[in-house]
Amino acid sequence: MIIATHSGKFHADDVWAVMVLDIVFPGCALVRTRDDARIREADFAVDVGGIWDPQAGRFDHHQKGFAGARQSGVVYASAGLVWRAHGGRCVARLALEHTGVALEPKTAQEIAYAIDADLVQYLDMSDTGAARNAPGGFGLSAVVSGYNPTWLEEQQAGSIAVADDLRLQQFRRAMMFMADVLVNQVKYRIGSMLALDQVRQAKTLEGGRLLFLQNGALPWGPVVRNEMPKVLFVISYSAAEDRHMLHTVPAVADSFTARKDLPAAWAGLQGAELAAVTGVPDAVFCHNGRFIAAAVSYEGALAMARLALVEAAQQPA
């Protein structure tokens, strides 16, 4: 099978789209061209060809009158068009390969929707001009564009054929990078899914205001934030560091704003200084941002948590 996309400079949306098709249909040949005849002969045409027809393997968004958009109003580019058609199958294949988990089609599609909301739609927005890259040029779309050869490299290539070959090599490097990004997205979500029951069944203390997780590697944030409104702090055991961590609970996703902060007097203290303030001999540190602290023993972390709860009760609701 052949995947055709446009030649010349590539962007994140066509790299992502080709990468997804390459995962779902392994062994495809990649052709970068603007020749209409070669595009028509291809099994898939991505970001080129002037047709959007998933059943025919056509995923272009440049044609006059194109009106493909998500329910949110975000207009599709080629990344989103391919992900819309094949995202669920791609997630299922990667989940089985990298985690050993065989997903039901419905679950795989739900994860695909989540990845679209968190990642793919922003590739589309960058490509269509609906949103800028991150400041400094380090948004994902800008990073992928950085894989394009520079004008100096193209000049040194010496011929069109050599320059085209260089661009193809760089396109494939960008695909590998994007594949790593996608695999990490899938593994994270599978891990979160498998952790749900363990977090829900974890031991609660202090009238439900404190949660203890024996396995500190469990991704607990979404469960605690969405399902445990009483929990203010979480103690977890870090096997890698052989110590117990005391966490605040984020009030909203991807934020350091907590339901309740750790005590202000602890901020930035370590070792003996923190032990003196808390009265906990094996206290290790408290981050200056007051969202995480640590003690060696469970008893030490519990004592710190109880102190934090006392102060939290005095903070405004």
**SS3 state of residue 311:** helix
Residue 135 is predicted with a pLDDT of 62
Q: Distance between CA atoms of 17 and 34, rounded to whole angstroms?
A: 17
Residue 129 is predicted with a pLDDT of 86
Give which of 126, 113, 10 is closest to 75, Cα–Cα: 126
The arrangement of strands across the sheet holding 210-213 comes to: 203-205, 210-213, 233-238, 243-248, 292-295, 283-286
Q: What is the DSSP string of 199-217?
A: HHTSEEEGGGTEEEES-TT
Residue 134 is predicted with a pLDDT of 61
Q: What is the DSSP letter of 120?
A: I
Q: Which two tokens stand for residue 205?
A: 């203390």
Q: Distance between CA atoms of 307 and 262, rounded to whole angstroms?
A: 9
Q: What is the DSSP letter of 250?
A: B
Residue 315 is predicted with a pLDDT of 75
pLDDT digits (tens, 9 = 90+) for 35-64: 999 999 999 999 999 999 999 999 999 999
Give which of 12, 244, 263, 43 is closest to 123, Cα–Cα: 12
> What residues contact residue 196 under an 8 Å CB cut-off, 6+ apart?
223
Residue 133 is predicted with a pLDDT of 66
Q: Please, are residues 28 and 1 in contact by the beta-carbon 8 Å criterion?
A: yes
Q: Please, are residues 236 and 220 in contact by the beta-carbon 8 Å criterion?
A: yes
Encode the chain (317 residues) as per-residue pLDDT tens digits. 999 999 999 999 999 999 999 999 999 999 999 999 999 999 999 999 999 999 999 999 999 999 999 999 999 999 999 999 999 999 999 999 999 999 999 999 999 999 999 999 999 999 998 887 666 667 899 999 999 999 999 999 889 899 999 999 999 999 999 999 999 999 999 999 999 999 999 999 999 999 999 999 999 998 999 999 999 999 999 999 999 999 999 998 878 899 999 999 999 999 999 999 999 999 999 999 999 999 999 999 999 999 999 999 987 76
Q: Please, are residues 175 and 22 in contact by the beta-carbon 8 Å criterion?
A: yes
pTM here is 0.83
Residue 21 is predicted with a pLDDT of 98
Helix%, strand%, coil% for the chain, nearest 5: 50, 15, 35
Residue 256 is predicted with a pLDDT of 80
Q: 């969405």: which residue's tokens?
A: 226
